[in-house]
Structure 1
Amino acid sequence: MNLMQPLARHHSVFFLILRRLRAPLILLITAMAISVLGLTLVPGPTENGEVQYLSFFHAVYFMSYTATTIGFGETPYAFSDQQRLWVVFSIYMSVFCWAYTLGTVFALLSDRNLRQAIATQRFVREVRRLREPFYLVCGYGETGRLICHALDRMGLRSVVLEIDEAKVGEIDLHSFAADVPALCADASNPELLGYAGLTHPNCAGVIALTNNDATNLAIAIAARLLAPKLPALCRAEHRETSANMASFGTRHIINPFERFGETLALALHAPIASQLLDWLTGIPGTAVDRDRRPPRGHWIVCGHGRFGRWMVDAMDAESLPVTIIDRGLQTDGTHRWVHGDGTGAEALLEAGVQKATGIVAGTNSDTDNLSIAVTARELNPELFVILRQNHHANHALFDAFESDITVLPSEIVAYECLAILSTPLLVPFLDEIRRRDEEWCSVQLERLTTRLGWNVPEIWSERVNLSKATALYRRLMRGETISLGMVLRSTTQADTYLDCEVLFLERDDDDHLLMPAHDTPLRPGDELLLAGTRHARNAFALGIANEHTLEYLVSGEDLPDGWIWRKFSRRKQQAAKPHLP
């Protein structure tokens, strides 16, 4: 994009103001000129037989302070009656001109187009001044707010485009550590994406989170054409949109309904693998319910919209009988169909809720979903309930009901985006797990939970390079052999290990290792995906970065720290050497 375009837009704001104020300014200048000219021509008092006239300078000086402050007095001498009459005329004329000018200014300030142009100018200036990596977040709804707060906690900047002016105003009310440049604009406009930093050298990625698939598709296309090297994370709620994005190479397409459909299908088909994924992808610190597994049997799906279709597909993949409750007309002949909304007992009883094993309340109304769940539980207390929550603001109601699984699409998208941004290795690792059988998943789940417990651990990645693993990288470059088990030792007791496990090891030569053994030798450039406690994370980072700590982990020797202690240590070693005769 031409960098002169924002500059031209900035100048257009200035010229727009001049055009709107053209008539008032001309009127003010004309009134000033008439007043000054009149004062120079009107005769003043007679002194020593000569009529006095104001000079041009004194006339301009007098009218300047008279027009703004209603005068300091008559200068350089007392005026004649003719001059005072002219001054009275000039004062009233200037009052009329100033009133007209101020009215025009107030009308101009309330003009929506001008305020938008000024806001755009300020926004472009803020984005241009960014000197650290930032993410362009398009859409500041529930998902966008979660993403921005998470990026802020990670020390990353964000720039926001949001079409709803009220949501843009909310950004200033939230406590961000760093300012978040935001603009009320349509993110599908590629010119505005350029203003928001799409082609900025410090832009680290684009996140399209609007609730409009067409807008997200336009953002994905603009990112692909204008900044093909940038990672683009795009939300899509329709299958056609996902397919369209995939056709031109969008890297990360996140359909919350499809993601949960895959999760449900995996839970029905491979419950151990699903439990392992829950343990790895949950909120750190929360406990994983060991017994929360969707049962096999007859299911009822209330609402056959986008979400409901994915749920039906997941159950069809496992050959489970499904009854659909929906207000619309039956769209297929393969499932039993009950006309209704499921909020009343009649439709649920007709669908066989008393003999069903599970129900999905998946309409786009939170009130209807809660009503369906409460009624179904009264009719069948043992029912497994999957409850769709559309708006985060209703979390108190959904928490009070205590469903077996609550699906909040905004959180699904936010967590997957954060996983991709913070730990890129997590995505290929989870793909590897989905391809493994139940026996392998059971062994790994037992091993990991035995060491780390059933609370969701911290998941992070470390790369063996000069910036993050200084000590380890230098030793490996010198040809030393250091195994994975050495750097996993405790920094205080070398005979014990940290409370963490290496889940995945990625190498530049595509020699990737899943759950690598402790005797695996490390190489420069390796990237590790780890799971463990916060203390273990800090200790591991210290061990691979600090030379003295790494020496202790490798050899068990605690090297002295500081120049004085190292000097005493060398003297002690020299004194201990045997003296030759």
Structure 2
Amino acid sequence: MRKSLKRLIKAGILLILSIAAGIFGYMGLEGYSLQDAMYMTVVTISTVGFQEVHPLSGAGKIFTTIYIIFNLGIFAYVISIFTTYLFEGELQQIFKEFLQGREVKNLKDHVIVCGYGRNGKKTCEELINGKLNFVVIERNEEIPRHLPDYLKSRFLIGNATLDDALHAAGIERASAIITTLPNDADNVFISLTARELNPKVNIIARASEENTEKKLYRAGASHVVMPDTLGGLHMAHLVTKPFVIEFLELLSGVGETKLMLEEFSFECLNSTYRNKTIRELDVRNETGVTIVGFKDNRQGFKFNPDPNTKIGENDVLIVLGIEEDIEKFKKRYS
């Protein structure tokens, strides 16, 4: 948007300077009044060919000749810029980006995604499924043009390694930032900058090389993901543990039966069910979901927790079930 506005402002300034030069020229050389000089200037730069206000002197004719030649280029440039804005949708695009900027400024606890490549695209799909607010910072202006309108509104065109782009995306108010750029050095730089701008933000960074992992953690990353390594392990496990992988794929939404893992914190539970034991909640009989994990705020994660475990402040339940049963759990216990 800034680049587009700069072109419009530049064209406007050139037009104003050209008109001012004509007015002062005719007033100084021909002694015209301000009104006559303004009229003569507009007639000259528009090349409509009306008669002069008064017969021109020799100096006036030379000035007019040079002025016309000089303004042919300026007038053509100004007209092309204004035509682009009025008839080719440039003005509408600027207005959309202005509204988008205002919308981003109102976001809080959102997720910032840096890069919309293969990993970034899958990240955004999952965020949409999880109904989370997010903003994408993408350098390639062509990518958003081929996306649905609901996705276009989430895009900011810019370089995520620059402070201005992160500020525009609301890094100070974001809960997490996911950097998926293919260049490890860029991900390190973004992690370092994001941690400085928001010490509390959760930073998830992509790494291609193993020796980059430590650098990302030193730069402030909360979690580092190596897609190539994970892909290799997945392919090997398809041979060594095929049924485990088949089950895990169900959790990822692959297959007819779509299992889901969801987390519910103590604060998300209805006050009626807080400070109760897992046995007292009786979630399996009431909703069909299974509590497979429990995060104690003191002892950490517990797999297949004891039914007598009490759910207290800052504790988290990890539940497993099909989508319909998860929704039952939300309606009953949230």
Equivalent residues, number? 316
Q: Identify which of 514, 535, 545 aligns with 2:303.
A: 514
Structure 1 residues 141 and 504 mapped into 2: Cα distance closer, same or farther (>3 Å)? Answer: same
Quote the residue 1:174 is aligned against.
147
**What letter is aligned with 2:299?**
D
Q: CA deviation at 1:227?
A: 3.2
Quote the residue 1:315 is aligned against.
none
Q: Deviation per CA, 1:90-110: give whole Å up to 9, x if none.
A: 876664443232345479999
Q: Deviation per CA, 1:421-451: give whole Å up to 9, x if none.
A: xxxxxxxxxxxxxxxxxxxxxxxxxxxxxxx
Structure 1 residues 107 and 502 mapped into 2: Cα distance closer, same or farther (>3 Å)? Answer: same
Quote the residue 2:259 is aligned against.
457
SS of the residue corresponding to residue 525 of structure 1 reads coil
SS of the residue corresponding to residue 291 of structure 2 reads strand
**Alpha-carbon distance in structure 2 between the residues aligned to 1:38 and 1:154:** 72
Quote the residue 1:283 is aligned against.
253
Q: Identify which of 21, 25, 39 aligns with 1:30.
A: 21
Q: CA deviation at 1:70?
A: 7.7
Q: CA deviation at 1:218?
A: 2.5
Q: Which runs of structure 2 are paired with 1:245-256 in the superposition (5 Å)?
A: 245-248=216-219, 250-256=221-227
Quote the residue 1:148 is aligned against.
124
**What letter is aligned with 2:201?**
L
Q: Which runs of structure 2 are paired with 1:344-383 in the superposition (5 Å)?
A: none
Quote the residue 1:218 is aligned against.
189
Quote the residue 1:415 is aligned against.
none
SS of the residue corresponding to residue 497 of structure 1 reads helix
Structure 1 residues 132 and 224 mapped into 2: Cα distance closer, same or farther (>3 Å)? Answer: closer
Is residue 2:327 matched to residue 1:525? no
Q: Which runs of structure 2 are paired with 1:375-524 in the superposition (5 Å)?
A: 455-465=257-267, 468-472=268-272, 476=274, 482-489=276-283, 496-510=285-299, 512-524=301-313
5+ residue gaps in structure 2? 85-89
Q: Is the 8 A contact 2:172 2:197 kept in 1?
A: no
Q: CA deviation at 1:207?
A: 1.4
**What letter is aligned with 2:269?**
A
Is residue 2:153 matched to residue 1:183? no
Quote the residue 2:333 is aligned against.
544
Query: C-alpha root-mean-square deviation of aligned residues, in Å?
Result: 4.3
Which is richer in helix?
A: 2
Structure 1 residues 279 and 252 mapped into 2: Cα distance closer, same or farther (>3 Å)? Answer: same
Q: Deviation per CA, 1:136-193: give whole Å up to 9, x if none.
A: 2222112212222332343333333334x3xx322133125361232243x3x34345
Quote the residue 1:201 is aligned against.
172
Larger Cα-atom Rg: 1
Q: Identify which of 70, 75, 78 aligns with 1:102.
A: 75
With 243-252 and 532-541 compared, the bigger mean Cα shift is at 243-252
Q: Is the 8 A contact 2:158 2:165 kept in 1?
A: no
Is residue 2:107 matched to residue 1:131? yes
SS of the residue corresponding to residue 229 of structure 2 reads helix
Of structures 1 and 2, the one scoring higher in RCO (CA 8 A, sep 6+) is 2
**Alpha-carbon distance in structure 2 between the residues aligned to 1:508 and 1:150:** 27
**Alpha-carbon distance in structure 2 between the residues aligned to 1:94 and 1:138:** 50
Instruction: Output the TM-score relative to the length of structure 2.
Output: 0.73
SS of the residue corresponding to residue 86 of structure 1 reads coil
**Alpha-carbon distance in structure 1 between the residues aligned to 2:316 and 2:277:** 14
Quote the residue 1:322 is aligned against.
none
Q: Identify which of 52, 56, 75 aligns with 1:86.
A: 56
**What letter is aligned with 1:160?**
V
Q: Is the 8 A contact 2:101 2:168 kept in 1?
A: no
**Alpha-carbon distance in structure 1 between the residues aligned to 2:67 and 2:177:** 55
Instruction: Output the TM-score relative to the length of structure 1.
Output: 0.45
Structure 1 residues 108 and 502 mapped into 2: Cα distance closer, same or farther (>3 Å)? Answer: same
5+ residue gaps in structure 1? 1-9, 42-55, 74-80, 288-454, 491-495, 546-581
Q: Deviation per CA, 1:315-338: give whole Å up to 9, x if none.
A: xxxxxxxxxxxxxxxxxxxxxxxx
**Alpha-carbon distance in structure 2 between the residues aligned to 1:184 and 1:102:** 32
SS of the residue corresponding to residue 233 of structure 1 reads strand
